[in-house]
Structure 1
């Protein structure tokens, strides 16, 4: 039971991380001190996409799911299991990534303009 809770918590944290990745730059418009955290989150997003390195939250969820007697996530990890095919069709992955990148860049432009 405890491992199932850990797996579910890792999944929820992953969704929160992705939400913050998409809109955290806008949060920084109000709370400027959060821009450093968002830069780190955005950097991790870019690094994980370009290098294919597995997210620690995916590793944690897989570990907990296996300890709970469940199947691990598919080789594509969190995105393939919970996002692609659910939120958008898998063939639009690059479009979704581009959309998030544009959203983040727009939020950074707004952040800079609001600071002036």
Structure 2
């Protein structure tokens, strides 16, 4: 029971991490110091996708699932949870590369907008 709860908490943390990578720059509007938390999240998320690495949270979640009697999944978090939404037959490596670059570009646009808005 405790291992399953742990796996679910890791899953929620992982989703929150991905969400922060995508829209966390908006937090800088309310708290400029947030940039020092958000930028490492963006860099890590991009590097993991671009390098084809497995985030350490994925094996932790899988280990907790297996220990609780559940089924671990193959591949990474993005492949397992987000990939099927876009590519039901499986997410190609090309999409990981696009995701990594997109995270960087999207956040560059957000930060440029924030800095422009603050300069007014």
Q: Taking structure 2 as the reference length, what is the TM-score of the superposition?
A: 0.82
Q: Which residue of 1 aligns with 2:35?
A: 35
Q: Which residue of 2 aligns with 1:61?
A: 61
Q: Is the 8 A contact 1:27 1:34 kept in 2?
A: yes
Structure 2 residue aligned with 1:102, among 93, 100, 105?
105
Root mean square deviation of aligned Cα: 2.0
Q: Is the 8 A contact 2:50 2:97 kept in 1?
A: no
Matches within 5 A, 1:3-42: 3-42=3-42
Q: Which residue of 1 aligns with 2:52?
A: 52
Structure 1: where are the runs of 5+ without partners? none
**Aligned partners of 1:4 and 1:94: how far apart in 2?**
28
Structure 2: where are the runs of 5+ without partners? none
**Aligned partners of 1:53 and 1:36: how far apart in 2?**
23
Q: Which residue of 1 aligns with 2:95?
A: 93
Q: Is the 8 A contact 1:22 1:103 kept in 2?
A: yes
Deviation at 1:40, TM superposition (A): 0.4
Deviation at 1:52, TM superposition (A): 2.3
Deviation at 1:34, TM superposition (A): 0.6
How many residues align? The count is: 114
Q: Taking structure 1 as the reference length, what is the TM-score of the superposition?
A: 0.84
What is the SS of the residue equivalent to 2:49? helix
Q: Does residue 83 of the first structure (1) align with residue 82 of the second (2)?
A: yes
Deviation at 1:103, TM superposition (A): 2.2
**Aligned partners of 1:77 and 1:22: how far apart in 2?**
18
